[in-house]
């Protein structure tokens, strides 16, 4: 039985990801063709033996609840422990920093009743494959009060601490002036023993559209893919029954990830194509991210473009961005060829 209780703080608001979060939370942003951001931290917890996970969302969390459901795909639909979803009460001026004590206080009885002695608190926008049990071992060996998980010296805003300390910090938040677990770690003037655990495997902190595009393209390389998706620590997601991808006779695909249910009649190069996407004849899609059920018509040219879900690009349209500033087509939008004047 794991000694760790999992807490996913999914209340983060990222201004740099606004084009992708108009209708969803950061935690439910699609990634790598068939996954969502939250799949990675949730799978990390399950692979670390965590059997009780609490998710604390704040904004636009309907799609997140739909994706996670009962937690069955992560083996968290249990009679004891399992998955807990705690939508927020109204809290004016509440911080969105990781491990907000005001947010956790609304459900403090959950922590008091849980039987685990330690807690791992994590965000949903760091894409990696980390073993939280190893971080806990480091925490115990050095007798830290709070252990911060880092990558190459940079904080991943993931923390391990004892449940008793967490409850104490929550109950004393009004007198201590600490507002969150991350606030405690960052403040220099206190008596807590703060330590770090260095995570060495591939890690992506996705806080902007350029970062989203860069780290998505990283997955087309073997090094990043093999570190993120390992056989002994799989990344789980919501299972959808889709037919195999259909490739037309003249279709050409190279250096790309294509999810099930797609229909490819054109050319796809160095791109990520999600489920049920349609790409028409004589269209060229290069260095693009195409999300679920988007449709690209005939004779289109797209380069460095991110298409959110259910986007339609009409016949003959040319769209180009750059690697540093990819063009984003928002969910459900329609783009057509410019009319010459």
In which band, very low, low, confident or very high, does the pLDDT at 2 lie, cut at 50, 70 and 90? confident
Contact between residue 205 and residue 156 where contact means Cβ atoms under 8 Å apart:
yes
Report whether pLDDT(153) > 70: yes
198 and 131: one domain? Answer: yes
- 293's tokens: 């059920």
Which uninterrupted H or E stretch holds 303? strand 301-303
Q: Is residue 341 part of a domain?
A: no
Report whether pLDDT(126) > 70: yes
The b/e string for 44-79 (b: 16+ C-beta within 10 A; e otherwise) is bbbbbebbbbbbbbbbbbebbeebbeebebbebeee
Output the domain CATH number for residue 98: 3.90.550.10
274 and 204: one domain? Answer: no
154 and 254: one domain? Answer: no
CA distances 56 to 51, 71, 103, 112, Å, are: 17, 15, 8, 17
Report whether pLDDT(161) > 90: yes
Q: How many C-alpha atoms does 216 have within 13 Å on its Cβ side?
A: 33
Q: Using CA of residue 41, residue 45, residue 46, residue 52, what is the dihedral sign?
A: negative
Domain containing 250 equals: 246-335
Q: What's the whole-number mean pLDDT along residues 315-336?
A: 97
206 and 268: one domain? Answer: no
152 and 183: one domain? Answer: yes
Domain boundary, last residue among 228, 261, 294: 228
Q: What's the whole-number mean pLDDT along residues 231-242?
A: 92
Find how far residue 52's CA is from the centre of its chain: 19
In which band, very low, low, confident or very high, does the pLDDT at 1 lie, cut at 50, 70 and 90? low
Share of the chain above pLDDT 70, in %: 97
63 and 105: one domain? Answer: yes
The b/e string for 134-143 (b: 16+ C-beta within 10 A; e otherwise) is ebbebbeeee
Report whether pLDDT(167) > 70: yes
Contact between residue 12 and residue 98 where contact means Cβ atoms under 8 Å apart:
yes
Q: What are phi and psi of 317, to 5 degrees?
A: -85, 135
In which band, very low, low, confident or very high, does the pLDDT at 58 lie, cut at 50, 70 and 90? confident
275-318 pLDDT per residue, tens = 999 999 999 999 999 999 999 999 999 999 999 999 999 999 99
Helices (H), 142-249: 163-171, 173-176, 181-186, 209-218, 222-228
Report whether pLDDT(224) > 80: yes
Report whether pLDDT(173) > 90: yes
Domain boundary, last residue among 199, 228, 257: 228
**CA distance linking residue 330 with residue 52, whole number of Å:** 35
Q: What's the whole-number mean pLDDT along residues 228-239?
A: 95
Predicted local confidence at residue 339, as pLDDT: 47
178 and 302: one domain? Answer: no
Residue labelled with tokens 């090094």: 223
Q: Is residue 237 part of a domain?
A: no
139 and 219: one domain? Answer: yes
Q: What's the whole-number mean pLDDT along residues 46-70?
A: 94
Neighbouring CB atoms inside 10 A of 88's CB total: 17
Predicted local confidence at residue 162, as pLDDT: 98
Predicted local confidence at residue 13, as pLDDT: 87
Q: How many domains does the chain have?
A: 2
Contact between residue 46 and residue 85 where contact means Cβ atoms under 8 Å apart:
no
- Residues with Cβ < 8 Å from 73, sequence gap 6 or more? 236, 237, 238, 239
18 and 107: one domain? Answer: yes
DSSP-derived letter for residue 89 is: P
In which band, very low, low, confident or very high, does the pLDDT at 198 lie, cut at 50, 70 and 90? very high
Average pLDDT of the residues of the chain? 94
In which band, very low, low, confident or very high, does the pLDDT at 92 lie, cut at 50, 70 and 90? low
In which band, very low, low, confident or very high, does the pLDDT at 338 lie, cut at 50, 70 and 90? low
Q: Is residue 236 part of a domain?
A: no
Lowest mean pLDDT among 29-33, 94-98, 155-159, 247-251: 94-98
76-90 pLDDT per residue, tens = 999 889 999 998 776
**pTM: predicted TM-score of the whole model, two decimal places:** 0.95
Domain boundary, last residue among 228, 256, 275: 228
Q: What are phi and psi of 198, to 5 degrees?
A: -90, 115
Q: Is residue 82 part of a domain?
A: yes
107 and 189: one domain? Answer: yes
Predicted local confidence at residue 116, as pLDDT: 97
Q: Is residue 238 part of a domain?
A: no
Q: Is residue 329 part of a domain?
A: yes
172 and 302: one domain? Answer: no
CA distances 89 to 58, 92, 96, 186, Å, are: 9, 10, 14, 27
Report whether pLDDT(127) > 90: yes
CA distances 44 to 74, 131, 172, 188, Å, are: 10, 6, 30, 30
Q: What's the whole-number mean pLDDT along residues 96-109?
A: 92
Hey, what's the torsion of the CAs at 176, 177, 183, 186, to 10 degrees? -80
Predicted local confidence at residue 186, as pLDDT: 94
60 and 14: one domain? Answer: yes
Higher pLDDT, 96 or 204: 204
Q: Is residue 235 part of a domain?
A: no
Output the domain CATH number for residue 294: 2.160.10.10
H helices, E strands: number in the chain: 10, 27
Lowest mean pLDDT among 65-69, 173-177, 337-341: 337-341
Q: Is residue 99 part of a domain?
A: yes
Contact between residue 243 and residue 260 where contact means Cβ atoms under 8 Å apart:
yes
Predicted local confidence at residue 340, as pLDDT: 44
């Amino acid at each position: 039985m794991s000694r760790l209780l999992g807490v996913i703080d999914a209340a983060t608001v990222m201004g740099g990801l606004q084009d992708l979060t108009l209708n969803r939370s950061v935690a439910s942003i699609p990634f790598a063709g068939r996954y969502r951001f939250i799949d990675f931290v949730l799978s990390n917890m399950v692979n670390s033996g965590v059997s009780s996970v609490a998710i604390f969302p704040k904004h636009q969390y309907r799609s997140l609840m739909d994706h996670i459901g009962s937690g069955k795909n992560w083996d968290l639909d249990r009679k004891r422990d399992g998955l807990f979803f705690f939508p927020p009460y109204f809290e004016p001026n509440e911080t969105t920093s990781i491990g907000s004590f005001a947010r956790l206080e609304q459900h403090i009885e959950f922590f008091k009743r849980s039987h685990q002695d330690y807690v791992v608190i994590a965000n949903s926008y760091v894409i990696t494959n980390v073993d939280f049990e190893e971080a806990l071992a480091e925490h115990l060996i050095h007798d830290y009060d709070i252990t911060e998980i880092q990558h190459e010296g940079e904080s991943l805003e993931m923390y391990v601490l004892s449940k008793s300390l967490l409850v104490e910090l929550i109950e004393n938040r009004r007198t201590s002036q600490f507002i969150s677990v991350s606030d405690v770690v960052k403040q220099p003037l206190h008596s807590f023993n703060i330590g770090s655990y260095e995570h060495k495997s591939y890690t992506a902190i996705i806080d902007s559209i350029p970062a989203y595009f860069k780290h998505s393209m990283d997955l087309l390389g073997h090094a990043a893919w093999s570190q993120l998706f390992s056989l002994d620590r799989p990344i789980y997601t919501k299972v959808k029954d889709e037919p195999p991808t259909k490739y037309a006779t003249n279709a050409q695909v190279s250096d790309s990830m294509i999810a099930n249910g797609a229909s490819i009649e054109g050319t796809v190069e160095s791109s990520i194509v999600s489920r049920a996407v349609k790409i028409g004849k004589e269209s060229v899609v290069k260095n693009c991210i195409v999300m679920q059920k988007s449709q690209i018509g005939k004779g289109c040219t797209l380069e460095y473009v991110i298409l959110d879900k259910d986007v339609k690009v009409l016949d003959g349209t040319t769209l180009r961005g750059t690697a540093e500033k990819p063009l984003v087509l928002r969910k459900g939008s329609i783009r057509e060829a410019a009319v010459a004047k």
